[in-house]
Amino acid sequence: MLVNGRKILQDAKEGKYAVPQFNINNLEWTKNILEECQELNVAVILGVSEGAAKYMGGYKAVSGMVKGLMEDLNITIPVCLHLDHGSSFENCKKAIDAGFSSVMIDASKHPLDENIRITKEVVDYAHQFDVTVEAEVGHIGGQEDNVSGTSLNATLEDCLTLVNGTGIDSLAPALGSVHGLYKGEPNLDFETMATINQNLTIPLVLHGGTGIPDYDIKKAISCGISKININTELQIAWSDAVKVFVKENPDVYDPRKVIGSGTSSMKDKVREKVEMFNNK
Ligand code: 13P
């Protein structure tokens, strides 16, 4: 059953744990994540960047693939299909029209009033279809697909202005995390994170989950983070295993065997993250 982000994230906020968003790139990734989360019996958010959607053929192809896999694999956990870093109203609308149950509009590169205007337009459209909306304040640094930039931390005032001016369902305040690998230790602003959480009723999202040490992830959850995005770390887990397999098996050419050689590493990483996000 595809669900939007509302209940799964509110439950996480109340229960003081975090729902994972794992980004998907192809059928195998989607299958591995769905199977492992079903095994662990936890809700999962499948994040799809605009670049990944394009790579897989488009929003309809992604939506059809996810729904088909869920049916064929008897997936019964709550699964949320979420556009990650939607860059415009038009792209969010395309994902919604194709059957995504949640979208992120990332208008954080604009001044706050323009961010609010664009985000509100997405919220007004998405809520007609019971699709939930995440937005970003400040700017999350690093690089992911074609989303890049330098970090700019969010302030409580800007978070309140954006939330009150738009009616979004979850908020990603930039507080020192970056997409991709960190140069040195991450430096998260936990104090502002906790203050923002105390002043908002909607769940908070932590982007750039790769490379944040376990103790900082746990601290972030204790400061009110209810959703954590992981992309790069799964890519590394998968590609490291495939590189070893290809080196050890130079004569294998069946793509199912080559691609499939990353399955168990990926599933192990999914399990590790899920357990950590559930304080285990
Ligand atoms: P990482 O690639 O750093 O895990 O970040 C993922 C993310 O935040 C997707 O929006």
CATH number at residue 162: 3.20.20.70
C-alpha to C-alpha distance for 235 and 21, rounded to whole angstroms: 14
In the 8-state DSSP scheme, what is residue 203? P
C-alpha to C-alpha distance for 256 and 246, rounded to whole angstroms: 12
Q: Burial of 117 by CB count in 10 Å (0-12 exposed, 13-18 middle, 19+ buried)?
A: middle
* Residue 247 domain-assigned (yes or no): no
pLDDT digits (tens, 9 = 90+) for 214-265: 999 999 999 999 999 999 999 999 999 999 999 999 999 999 999 999 999 9
* Residue 255 domain-assigned (yes or no): no
* Residue 60 domain-assigned (yes or no): yes
Q: How many domains does the chain have?
A: 1
* Residue 77 domain-assigned (yes or no): yes
* Residue 250 domain-assigned (yes or no): no
pLDDT digits (tens, 9 = 90+) for 42-100: 999 999 999 999 999 999 999 999 999 999 999 999 999 999 999 999 999 999 999 99
Looking at ligand 1, which residue's alpha carbon is closest to its atom 9? Answer: 229
Residues in contact with ligand 1 by the CB-under-6-Å rule are 23, 47, 84-85, 144, 179-180, 207-210, 229-233
* Residue 123 domain-assigned (yes or no): yes
Range of the domain at 175: 6-235
Angle at 178 between CA 173 and CA 182, to 5 degrees: 150
* Residue 54 domain-assigned (yes or no): yes
Under 8 Å between Cβ of 108 and 128: no
Q: What is the pLDDT of residue 146?
A: 65
Ligand 1: atom nearest CA of 144 is: 2
- In this predicted structure, the answer to whether residue 112 has a pLDDT above a threshold of 70 is yes
Question: Residue 84 catalytic?
Answer: yes
Q: Mean pLDDT in the chain?
A: 95
Selected catalytic residue, list 11, 72, 84, 254: 84
Ligand 1: atom nearest CA of 206 is: 8
Task: Report the residue among 212, 225, 231 best suited for mutation to probe ligand 1: largest number of ligand atoms under 8 A from its CB.
Answer: 231
Furthest CA-CA distance within the chain = 59
Looking at ligand 1, which residue's alpha carbon is closest to its atom 5? Answer: 208
